[in-house]
Structure 1
Amino acid sequence: MMPLISNWRNTPPCQASIAQRYWLKRSGALTSGLKKLGHVQITVLNESCTSLKEEDSIAIQIPVHTPIWVREIMMSIDNTPCIWARSITPLSAAQSVWKGIRQLQTRPLADMLYHDPSITRSMFECINIKQSTVLRHTHQRYFNTPLPTDYYARRSVFQRAKQPLMVTECFLPAFWLLLNKQINYRF
């Protein structure tokens, strides 16, 4: 079997707008940036144990089919669903160094990531969701709508005690519409 080649890239897709490029590479906690746009609400879509897919195993360098903990959420701004996010870590890490992920409920992941100096973060990788099997399937499970053309995601891997936690954030078209309506917004 030939190894899977990743479609994820260190730079945003060339067809992405300036605003899209900014948000795909924006450092720091995404929720803090979103709070500048309006009231942010987090809804938990799924928290469960599953097995690691090949596409994700490349990024976190863990063998395919390893048991993982998955947390999927929707971030809404002023009641408009704008970003859905998917966080994964090996199940053993979710029971030890990353156990806080199982206790967040509707709090943002940033609450546990940005207050511990031992946590490191990789560079962002970006993709058009149409190129990601895992993200396409997740989109269909929650939205059951055709994939928009300009439908981008970013991901990065946090490390604590040599254990990965990958966070993928998918920007829904409603986010870009909301951003365009923000007259005073500057990035």
Structure 2
Amino acid sequence: MIPDQAIALCRWSTQIDPLADSLQRKWLRRAGALTAGLRKLGRLELGVIRQTTALPTLDEQLIMRLTSRQPVHIREICLSIDGQSCVVARSVVSLPSRRGLWQAIGQLGRRPLADILYDDRHVRRSAFETGRIHSPHPLARLALSSEPTSSGNRNRTFWARRSVFWRGGAPLLVSECFLPAFWAIATTESSTNG
């Protein structure tokens, strides 16, 4: 499938899908750094899956207000809680911004983006868009490759959210996808804390 068709693989919306339960709604709309919330659930580890230059999907281009399909810098990571893959994330930034206003991304290594986003008064965040994604959307493919139990079931859907961080007019798109193991851990934590 060509990247342009990925736009049809998720209906992003500022309104949460009515099929989402209360726990899903809570996490899909959670403000602040997602990693801060995940750390409350257990030992958090971040693994960098890949960093590359590629064309954005059409839905990425549109939300970032990019005027043409030029290559972008893509960083894909997996966040694990107590050794279980729970969230995958994909950040996208234009190459000029990666070398300019967002150059700190190149020094992150295994640190989360939150380390450069939330203490910078020049950064503002858009409203969240949420949706249910499925393969072959790049975020769904990332989720499937990070979830050992999904092999053989390529038709899974995942809850995801995304927002754009703006710094000096330069957009940085962050999309986060919650894996089934996350919901199991969050449900246990929620029932434990009443």
| TM-score normalised by structure 2 residue count | 0.86
Q: 5 Å matches for 1:7-22? A: 7-22=11-26
What's the CA shift for 1:150? 5.6
In 2, are the aligned partners of 1:124 and 1:156 still within 8 Å (CA)?
yes
Compared with structure 1, are the counterparts of its residues 155 and 132 closer, same or farther at alpha carbon in structure 2 (3 Å cutoff)?
farther
Asked if 2 retains the 8 angstrom alpha-carbon contact of 1:16 and 1:150, the reply is no
Is the partner of 2:72 in helix, strand or coil? strand
Is residue 177 from structure 1 mapped to residue 181 from structure 2 by the alignment? no
Whole-angstrom CA distance in 2 between matches of 1:177 and 1:106: 25
Higher mean C-alpha deviation, range 138-147 or range 7-16 = 138-147
Q: Once the 2 structures are TM-superposed, how far is the Cα of residue 116 of structure 1 from its aligned partner? A: 0.6
Q: CA deviation at 1:67?
A: 1.5
Amino acid at match of 1:31: T
Q: 1:157 aligned to 2:161?
A: no
1:52 Cα deviation (Å)? 1.8
How far apart are the structure 2 equivalents of 1:137 and 1:63?
A: 26
Kindly tell me: are residues 185 and 125 of structure 1, through their superposed partners in 2, closer, same or farther at Cα, counting changes over 3 Å? farther
2:31 is equivalent to residue 27 of structure 1: yes
Aligned to 1:112, which of 107, 113, 116?
116
Name the structure 1 match of 2:62: 58
Q: CA RMSD in A?
A: 2.2
How many residues get paired? 184
The residue number in structure 1 matching 2:80 is 76
SS in structure 2 at match of 1:9: coil
Contact 1:55 1:134 in 2 (8 A): no
Native 8 Å contact 2:78 2:146 kept in 1 = no
Shift of 1:152: 0.3
Structure 1 counterpart of 2:184, one-letter code = L
Percent identity over the alignment is 36
d(CA) in 2 for partners of 1:74 and 1:112?
A: 18
Q: 1:97 aligns with which of 101, 104, 119?
A: 101
Q: 1:119-158, CA deviations, whole angstroms, 9 ceiling, x for partnerless residues?
A: 0000000010128733234345555632575620000000
Deviation digits for residues 29-72 of structure 1, max 9, x if unmatched? Answer: 00001111111100000111111221211110103421111010
- Per the alignment, do residues 11 and 147 of structure 1 end up closer, same or farther by CA in structure 2, a change over 3 Å counting? farther
Richer in helix (by share): 2
Task: Give the equivalent residue in structure 2 for 1:47.
Answer: 51
Unaligned runs of 5+ in 1: none
Displacement of 1:102: 1.3
Tell me if structure 2 keeps the 8 A contact 1:148–1:173. Answer: no
